[in-house]
Structure 1
Amino acid sequence: MIGGNYGYRRKKTVDNFIHNVYTIEEDFQLRWLDKQLTKACRDGHVLVYDEFSRTRPTINNILLSVLEEGVLFLPGFDAEKQSITVHPEFRIIFTSNPLEYAGVHKTQAALEDRMVTIELNEMDRETEVAITMANSCLSDEDAGKIVDIVRDYRVIVSSSKTCTVRTCIKIARVLDNEDFRKYRSSITKNMVAEILFSESRHKVINQKEVYPHVLSLIDKYL
């Protein structure tokens, strides 16, 4: 995200002004290559740090001085350029998943104090249908049926975060190679149910109790 020293630059000068006298000068320099954060800080770009909470908090400590003092320190760089001043137009947008998601780390308080957190509401049905269509070959009508199954399943298990639009996409990709009239087979019902249950691993549910309701949803919409 910051950059590093990658390879060397070699410069060699041979002075043969007098035919039997040689003067040779060699200079070796480390080659520093900027990465995303350094380029954005130097040039004043907007940097999108997607799912930053998947990164260990200690790695994000480099951002504290960037957001507070406006200075980016460059570890491993040469002694004369150990830091750069952050461009006044630099902006950074963080995105993250809720803490209950697997692989998510709690953000350190020092970093939270330096950002403004905006909680996003759940997506509406039309948005979920559009995203499902964009990631499958299903029609608007068929994608809507899958979205309705997932949305009703959230109500059954009493959790809006149990299944996301990714669940809709998974189901759509399983089903989009078949005629929609074939979706009512027992094998297909079981596949859809297993996808829903797999997305509910973090929430304790009684699958035997919920399973009949899931089958009813599939029969209702498919």
Structure 2
Amino acid sequence: NLQRISRILCLGQRKLPILIQGNTSVGKTSLIKYLARLSGNHCFRINNHEHTDLQEYIGKYVLQENGELKWQDGLLTKAMRKGYWVILDELNLAPCELLEALNRVLDDNRELFIPETRDRFVAHSKFVLFATQNPPEEYAGRKILSRAFRNRFVELHFDELPHDELEVILHERCRMPPKYAKKIVTVMKELQMFRRESVCFGGKNSFMTMRDLFRWGNRYLV
């Protein structure tokens, strides 16, 4: 996955937007942040939900102590001006008006227009837009993004980590004996099997994720 993203970022001068789809806690956001640190790039994350306001992306006027109104750039605007990376997390939870506002940014000219200030500008050459989402078929409340919208991205799919790799990660990160790490992963595998076979375990909250494994594993250190 790291190599695939790195190759995409090296294609030409224009940085292509990247959409990563995968289950919760497969490392979508963490991998982008790691790559940003490795390459010396600033990286912002915007967590989307059904009530995410466009102002968080674009910006708004803020009242100053002297009573004046001053424009304050949103995270997307700031990243585009300064050449930062921005992660739009859980993109398929965002409101439709927000997705529509992204169309111009995703175009080849990578342009942003701010109606409140009448400012129009092209993104910095180092600006990169990432988006992540969970599979809409498996998680409640997620939209199925249109094919036309998704075609504006380079789309990647992240699979879950193999169980033997999870055992190694638990062993290294939580400093627990390999046999304990193996038992924890075995329990996770059994829960996944129950979830597939029973409607009682439907819904996103029934997933056992890597975060849950780490919380469990960290108890070994206490």
Length-normalised TM-score, structure 2: 0.57
Cα deviation per residue 1:68-102 (whole Å; 9 max; x = unaligned)?
031112232x24x2x22112222111111111212
8 Å CA contact retained: 1:56, 1:105 = no
CA contact (8 A) 1:64 1:110 kept: no
User: What letter is aligned with 2:96?
Assistant: P
The aligned counterpart of 1:4 is: 60
Task: Mark the runs of 5 or more structure 1 residues left unpaired by the alignment.
Answer: 11-27, 180-222
Contact 2:174 2:220 in 1 (8 A): no
SS in 2 for 1:95: strand
Local SS of the residue matching 1:72: strand
SS at match of 1:33: strand
CA distance in 1, matches of 2:169, 2:139: 21
Report how far residue 148 of structure 1 moved. Answer: 1.3
CA–CA separation in structure 1 for the residues paired with 2:129 and 2:143: 19
C-alpha contact (below 8 Å) 2:174/2:221 kept by paired residues: no
Question: Is 1:101 matched with 2:130?
Answer: no
Q: Supply the RMSD in Å over aligned alpha carbons.
A: 3.5
| 1:84 and 2:121 are equivalent in the alignment | yes
Give runs of aligned pairs for residues 25-174 of structure 1, distance below 5 A. Answer: 30-68=69-107, 69-76=109-116, 78-79=117-118, 81=119, 83-99=120-136, 100-129=138-167, 139-155=177-193, 158=196, 163-166=207-210, 168-169=212-213, 172=216
Tell me the distance in 2 between the aligned counterparts of 1:119 and 1:64. 22
Quick one: distance in 2 between partners of 1:137 and 1:56? 42
Structure 1, 150-159 or 133-142: larger mean CA deviation: 133-142
TM superposition shift of 1:61? 1.6
2:153 is paired with a residue whose SS is: coil
Provide, for residues 115-160 of structure 1, a one-character-per-residue CA deviation record: whole Å limited to 9, x for no partner: 011112221124433565688785543232111122244345547x
Shift of residue 106, structure 1, vs aligned partner = 1.9
Write the mapping of 1:170-209 to structure 2, written as runs, cut at 5 A: 172=216, 176=219
DSSP-derived class of the 1:118 partner: strand
Q: Which has the higher contact order (CA 8 A, sep 6+)?
A: 2
In structure 1, give the amino acid aligned to 2:88.
Y
State the number of aligned residues: 157
Report % sequence identity: 24
Q: What SS is found at the alignment partner of 1:5?
A: strand
Shift of 1:112: 0.7
Q: Secondary structure at the match of 1:143?
A: helix
**Do the aligned partners of 1:7 and 1:31 also contact (CA within 8 Å) in 2?**
yes
Cα offset, 1:111, TM superposition: 2.1
Describe the SS at the equivalent of 1:106: coil
Cα shift at 1:32: 1.1
Distance 1:9 1:64, change over 3 A: farther
Q: Deviations over 1:180-203 (max 9, x none)?
A: xxxxxxxxxxxxxxxxxxxxxxxx
Cα distance between partner residues in 1 of 2:58 and 2:169: 33
Cα contact 1:147–1:168 (8 A) shared by 2: no
Write the distance in 2 (CA, Å) between the matches of 1:130 and 1:57.
Answer: 41
Query: In 2, Cα distance between the equivalents of 1:140 and 1:48?
Result: 35
Letter in 1 for 2:183: K
| Larger Rg belongs to | 1
